[in-house]
């Protein structure tokens, strides 16, 4: 698995890709951070980052498909997939290697964003417990979207299509609770509960406010596991089809 992981990490960090994605993420974080700071009435900065992370999550789903669209699509497009799936490396190691490489990029992005709470702590106060919860929730939510994006990338050889489909899927997961609150769906209480149960936004909202609920952690970890298992099934099926 380490060889796959190393190859994927190098494809991120030995090219401008990781730094461009991180720069875009930092731009979004800076923009929202400045907006929230400018809207404060007090001259003393006492920041919780609740609304910052909550708003960044919405824009972050536009970046994740760009991170994952090449995971398998480019392998198929350039014919290198045959070398990958016929190698002695197990499918699980391929899937996990690619997944952990993308998580490394996500962790790097979050590490870069730590300059904002450090700056805030130097000029005011930061609720550390709430900040840790927000980072944990963002990481779990990001990991789930990465696993989903990788799964979608395994279905096509066109990275643009993978990005567009990934964007749609992540948007649905993030905002399906809004649909569950519509008048039509509210007529069906059971359907409304099911749709709300699959929405990621309300669960992340608890993290951003400084609360860690076991049910929310289980939701994100279960979703990650399911997407990775489906990813494994798709790649394993393709390996068997190639004989």
What pLDDT shows up at residue 139? 94
- Structural domain of 227: 2-35+46-241
Is residue 129 assigned to a domain? yes
Is residue 85 assigned to a domain? yes
Output the DSSP codes for 11-31: HHHSSSHHHHHHHHHHHHHHH
Chain segment 168-222, per-residue pLDDT in tens: 888 888 778 777 777 777 777 787 788 878 888 888 888 888 888 999 999 999 9
Is residue 27 assigned to a domain? yes
Instruction: Convert 14-49 to b/e letters by CB count within 10 Å (16 or more is b).
Output: eeeebeebbebbbebbeebbeebbeeeeeeeeebbb
Is residue 215 assigned to a domain? yes
CB 175 within 8 A of CB 202: no
Is residue 40 assigned to a domain? no
Q: How far is CA 197 from the centre of its chain?
A: 18
Is residue 41 assigned to a domain? no
Q: Band of the pLDDT at 102, cuts 50, 70, 90? A: very high
**What mean pLDDT is predicted for residues 222-240?**
88
What pLDDT shows up at residue 82? 63
The larger pLDDT score, comparing residue 115 to residue 57, is at: 115
What pLDDT shows up at residue 148? 93
Question: Distance between the two ends of the chain, CA-based, in angstroms?
Answer: 22
Q: Band of the pLDDT at 47, cuts 50, 70, 90? A: low
Q: Residue with structure tokens 């197990």?
A: 90
Nearest residue to 208 (alpha-carbon basis) of 155, 130, 139: 130
Query: How many angstroms separate the CA atoms of 109 and 143, rounded?
Result: 13
CB 67 within 8 A of CB 151: no
Is residue 229 assigned to a domain? yes
Query: How many angstroms separate the CA atoms of 170 and 164, rounded?
Result: 10
Is residue 184 assigned to a domain? yes
Least confident of 101-105, 218-222, 236-240: 236-240
Query: How many angstroms separate the CA atoms of 100 and 57, rounded?
Result: 20
How many CA atoms lie within 13 Å of 122's alpha carbon, on the beta-carbon side?
Answer: 6
Residue 198 has φ and ψ, to the nearest 5°, of -95, 0
Domains contained in the chain, number: 1
What pLDDT shows up at residue 187? 75
Q: What is the mean pLDDT of the chain?
A: 83
CB 208 within 8 A of CB 53: yes
pTM to 2 decimals?
A: 0.88
Q: How far is CA 42 from the centre of its chain?
A: 34
What pLDDT shows up at residue 236? 82
The larger pLDDT score, comparing residue 77 to residue 201, is at: 201
Q: Which tokens is 142 given? A: 């990001």
The larger pLDDT score, comparing residue 47 to residue 77, is at: 77
């Amino acid at each position: 698995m380490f060889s796959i992981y190393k190859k994927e990490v190098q494809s991120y960090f030995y090219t401008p890709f990781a730094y461009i994605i991180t720069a875009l993420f930092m731009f979004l974080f800076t923009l929202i951070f400045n907006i929230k700071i400018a809207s404060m009435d007090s001259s003393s900065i006492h920041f919780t980052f609740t609304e910052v992370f909550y708003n960044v999550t919405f824009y972050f789903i536009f970046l994740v498909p760009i991170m994952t669209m090449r995971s398998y699509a480019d392998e198929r497009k350039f014919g290198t997939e045959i070398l990958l799936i016929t190698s002695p490396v197990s499918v699980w190691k391929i899937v996990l290697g690619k997944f952990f490489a993308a998580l490394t990029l996500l962790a790097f992005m979050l590490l870069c964003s730590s300059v904002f709470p450090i700056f805030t702590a130097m000029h005011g106060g930061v609720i550390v417990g709430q900040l840790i919860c927000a980072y944990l929730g963002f990481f779990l939510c990001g990991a789930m979207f990465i696993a989903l994006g990788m799964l979608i990338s395994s279905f096509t050889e066109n990275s643009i299509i993978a990005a567009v489909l990934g964007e749609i899927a992540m948007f649905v997961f993030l905002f399906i609770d809004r649909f569950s609150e519509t008048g039509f769906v509210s007529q069906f209480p059971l359907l409304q509960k099911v749709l709300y149960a699959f929405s990621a936004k309300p669960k992340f909202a608890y993290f951003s406010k400084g609360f860690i609920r076991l049910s929310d952690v289980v939701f994100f970890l279960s979703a990650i596991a399911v997407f990775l298992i489906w990813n494994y099934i798709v790649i394993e099926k393709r390996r068997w089809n190639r004989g």
